[in-house]
Amino acid sequence: MSHSHKPGESGADLPHAAPTVEEITDFEVLEIAVRELAIEHGLFTAEDHRRFTEWTESIGPAAGSRLVAKAWTDPAFKARVLDDAVKACKEIGIDWAEPTGFGTPSDYMNLRVLEDTPTLHHVIVCTLCSCYPRPLLGMSPEWYRTTNYRRRLVRWPRQVLAEFGLIIPPEVEVRVEDSNQKCRFMVMPMRPEGTDSWTEEQLAEIVTRDCMIGVALPRPGRTADVHPVHKARHPVQE
Amino acid sequence: MPKSKPPEKVRPPADAARFKVGDRVRVKDMPNLFYSRTQMYIRGVVGTIAECTYKDIIPEDEAFNRDGRIEQYYIVRFRQKDLWPEYQFENDTLQTESPERWLEPAD
């Protein structure tokens, strides 16, 4: 079939320009449709929805950092965290039932805190989509929800961790936790050397979001999640 | 926040848990009828029950309605070498959750 066109001919089979925005998924369309119906039927208002979104997006990983720091300094609290994490969260002011009385959608009030040991390292993923302990850690980072991370972490965990700059010695067991039902998981890393005299507040500063996902380890001086920058081998010449 | 109706808490009791911690189980390879949360990569693979977690509605029913069949859920631990033939590290493991219907005794 010819692709040449004379003026005035139908342009129906002209090549299209590439779309400039990502396509919206079926589930995004469904969410908008259900939300608009709910607003139309008076289940909640658009302002309620905006406030809930604002509230959800305002949760950060600080509560998780506090939980780990407190567990490091208080063995009795650590035991309670490992025994019933949702209950222990209340001691640091996090109620998994908020704001609805039964939790946020998809956070089912089943939390397991995975304790790292000298011979065991945990890392979490949700291969189905994006299960994440949001009441403690807030919204997941964008990379956590990518298919790239999800499909590769379960199969090549050590290689993916290495891309984050984390090399786990071969003698240490790497345990991937694929959370895809109703349990949510968070990693409790080991307390690093050189922090013996630190306060809970100082300790919380080094327990960053990535440490609680399991793609980084806490260490003195590391207070932010900065990923290694791989420079281009053949950078664009000015 | 508007007060929404909480999910129905009164549910018919599930049968007693069929498996206990340490039991070896094989993940069934059943057809996906409309909806499943059982990943293909664990189908047919043998693992060990790491924890009996809770009883709740199965995803196959929950996807369509709040009412449905209640089952025991488990955290199952797999050896990575059993999931991926080319896996290089002997001791590495992977855990994931499953409702009872997807599991059968391995021995």
Mark whether A47 and A159 lie in a shared domain: no
In this structure, how many other beta carbons lie within 10 angstroms of the beta carbon of residue B41? 18
Mark whether A91 and A46 lie in a shared domain: no
ipTM: 0.89
Domain termination site, one of A34, A56, A78? A56
CB contact under 8 A, A181 and B7: no
Mark whether A141 and A166 lie in a shared domain: yes
Q: Specify if A187 maps to a domain.
A: yes
Q: What is the pLDDT of residue A15?
A: 65
Q: Hey, which residues of A are catalytic here?
A: 126, 129-131
Mark whether A36 and A93 lie in a shared domain: no
Mind listing the pLDDT tens digit for each residue in A86-142?
A: 999 999 999 998 877 777 666 678 999 999 999 999 999 999 988 999 999 999 999
Mind listing the pLDDT tens digit for each residue in B70-100?
A: 999 999 999 999 999 999 999 999 999 999 9
Q: Specify if A198 maps to a domain.
A: yes
Q: Specify if A5 maps to a domain.
A: no
Mark whether A83 and A49 lie in a shared domain: no
The CATH number given to whatever domain includes residue A195 is 3.90.330.10
Q: Specify if A44 maps to a domain.
A: yes
Which residues from B are below 8 Å from A43, CB to CB?
A: 2, 4
The predicted model scores a pTM of 0.85
Mark whether A68 and A132 lie in a shared domain: yes
Q: How distant, in Å, are the alpha carbons of A143, A161, A236, A237 from that of A232?
A: 20, 20, 9, 11
Mark whether A50 and A167 lie in a shared domain: no
Mark whether A66 and A174 lie in a shared domain: yes
Mark whether A139 and A208 lie in a shared domain: yes
Q: Are A156 and B83 in contact (CB under 8 A)?
A: no
Mark whether A163 and A195 lie in a shared domain: yes
Q: Specify if A48 maps to a domain.
A: yes
Q: Can you name the residues that pair with B46 across neighbouring β-strands?
A: B26
Counting the structural domains of chain A, the total is: 2
Mind listing the pLDDT tens digit for each residue in A160-185?
A: 999 999 999 999 999 999 998 999 99
Q: Specify if A18 maps to a domain.
A: no
Q: Specify if A143 maps to a domain.
A: yes
Distance of CA A114 to the CA centre of its chain: 15
Mark whether A208 and A90 lie in a shared domain: yes
Q: Roughly what angle, to the nearest 10 degrees, separates helices A46-58 and A26-40?
A: 130
Q: Specify if A220 maps to a domain.
A: no
Residues of B with CB under 8 A from a CB of A: 1-2, 4, 6-7, 37, 39, 41, 51, 53-54, 56, 59, 73, 75, 77, 80, 83-84, 87, 89, 91-99
Angle in degrees, CA A129, A226, A202, rounded to 5: 105
Q: Can you name the residues that pair with B77 across neighbouring β-strands?
A: B48, B95
Mind listing the pLDDT tens digit for each residue in A34-61?
A: 999 999 999 999 999 999 889 888 889 9
User: Collapsing DSSP states into helix, strand and coil, what is residue B49?
Assistant: strand
CB contact under 8 A, A178 and B7: no
Q: Tell me the shortest Cα–Cα distance from A16 to chain B, in angstroms.
A: 35
Distance of CA B88 to the CA centre of its chain: 26
CB contact under 8 A, B91 and A173: yes
Ordered structural domains, chain B, with CATH:
24-105 (2.30.30.50)
What distance in Å separates the CA atoms of residue A137 and residue B100, rounded to the nearest whole number? Answer: 30
Mark whether A128 and A49 lie in a shared domain: no
Residue A52: which domain range? 26-56
Q: Tell me the shortest Cα–Cα distance from A191 to chain B, in angstroms.
A: 22
Q: For chain A, how many residues are written?
A: 238
Question: Which tokens go with B63?
Answer: 């996807």
